[in-house]
Structure 1
Amino acid sequence: MSEVDLSGEKGWQPFDAPALVGSSLRFVSGDPEGDRFRVSYYRKPDSALVARIWFGPETEGPPEHAHGGSMAAVLDEVLGLAAWSAGYAIVVANLNINFRCLLPIMQVVQVDTEIVSVDGRKVLVRGKIWDGQEKVYTEADCLCIEIQAV
């Protein structure tokens, strides 16, 4: 498989996601050279988490396009990680996804995140998978619940 460019934009700082949450990022981020996903995380100057993700041939659903479940898995990981990187130890309670259009495989896309609100233990994170310019493939709201210390 050829090299995939997951580099960030000027001003973005690389973010070491596994250092924050450990090996729990195996499903999406676990194989950086694989044929499913390849992921690089960054922080924008406003501290928002952003990811560059390549959807490989093993994510295919409709011919030459990513399966909806693969997009849901990416949003689950990235939006949950956005809450963790903002200082909230959470689990995802609800992930509401709106699929806007088919996402062609074998290309790099961007996932932007935003912490929308915090109310007690509830953390609402919003995000989208898009081409980084104008085309939005999916948008999601993620209700996270801060976990209690064990």
Structure 2
Amino acid sequence: MTDSQIEEKLQAEEGFKEIKFPKQYGIGRSYVGGDTDKNRLIVRYFIRKSDKRFFAKVFFGAMAQGPPFHAHGGSQAAVLDEAMGLAAWVADKSVVAASITIEYVKMLKLLQVTRVETWIDRIDGRKIWMKAELKDETGIVYSRGTGLYIALPEEKIDKNGFHHELRAQVDE
């Protein structure tokens, strides 16, 4: 797959809006999508306009390899974790992960663009349970994630930083 083919597959589909990872992000870049090496992971985030559900499109490059010619389970886990966390932040729940569980359903071949769909499963006080599925473009599920995330106390949130930039994009 050429770079231009990859970029084309990573574009927003009709009815979706791309959400850019905020520039004000601590002292560095995202562990998952912040690497500029296109041979590892390329990640784009989206909101479906109709219901505000959170999605990602991810290209698993050669440097995401685990078993020969297939994505490393850790790369899938990292993608699912970040997508679940960001989905909560986009839904105005500023969270950190307490526990995540990943189910590997099928080996994921490298050098393809996949899709992650993420949603809030339930909320109980500061506890927020998230779910996510990583699929190919035909809908085949390769891995699933569930996570318990804890909402940060209001005083721990920088309203002019990461949270503010994400919410501003959703509310546009």
Structure 1 length-normalised TM: 0.92
Gaps of 5+ in 2: 157-172
Counterpart CA distance in 2 for 1:68 and 1:105 is 12
In the TM superposition, what is the alpha-carbon distance from 1:25 to its structure 2 partner?
A: 4.8
Does 2:98 match 1:98?
no
User: In the TM superposition, what are the counterparts of 1:45-124 in structure 2 within 5 Å?
Assistant: 45=49, 46-124=51-129
| Larger of the two Rg values belongs to structure | 2
SS in 2 for 1:79: helix
Letter in 1 for 2:25: G
In the TM superposition, what is the alpha-carbon distance from 1:16 to its structure 2 partner?
A: 1.8
Aligned residue-pair number: 149
Deviations 1:77-131 (A, max 9, x none): 1111100110011100111111000001110000001111111001111100001
Match of 1:139 among 127, 144, 151: 144
In the TM superposition, what is the alpha-carbon distance from 1:63 to its structure 2 partner?
A: 0.6
Counterpart CA distance in 2 for 1:132 and 1:25 is 28
Does 2:14 match 1:28?
no
Letter in 2 for 1:95: I
Query: Relative to structure 2, which stretch is displaced further, 79-88 or 125-134?
Result: 125-134
The 8 Å contact of residues 12 and 46 in structure 2, kept in 1 or not, is answered as yes
Deviations 1:42-85 (A, max 9, x none): 10121011000001111101110001011011111111110011
SS in 2 for 1:102: coil
Q: Counterpart in 2 of 1:15?
A: 19
Q: Counterpart in 2 of 1:40?
A: 44
SS in 2 for 1:29: coil
Counterpart CA distance in 1 for 2:75 and 2:43 is 13
RMSD: 1.7
The 8 Å contact of residues 81 and 145 in structure 2, kept in 1 or not, is answered as no
The 8 Å contact of residues 29 and 35 in structure 2, kept in 1 or not, is answered as no
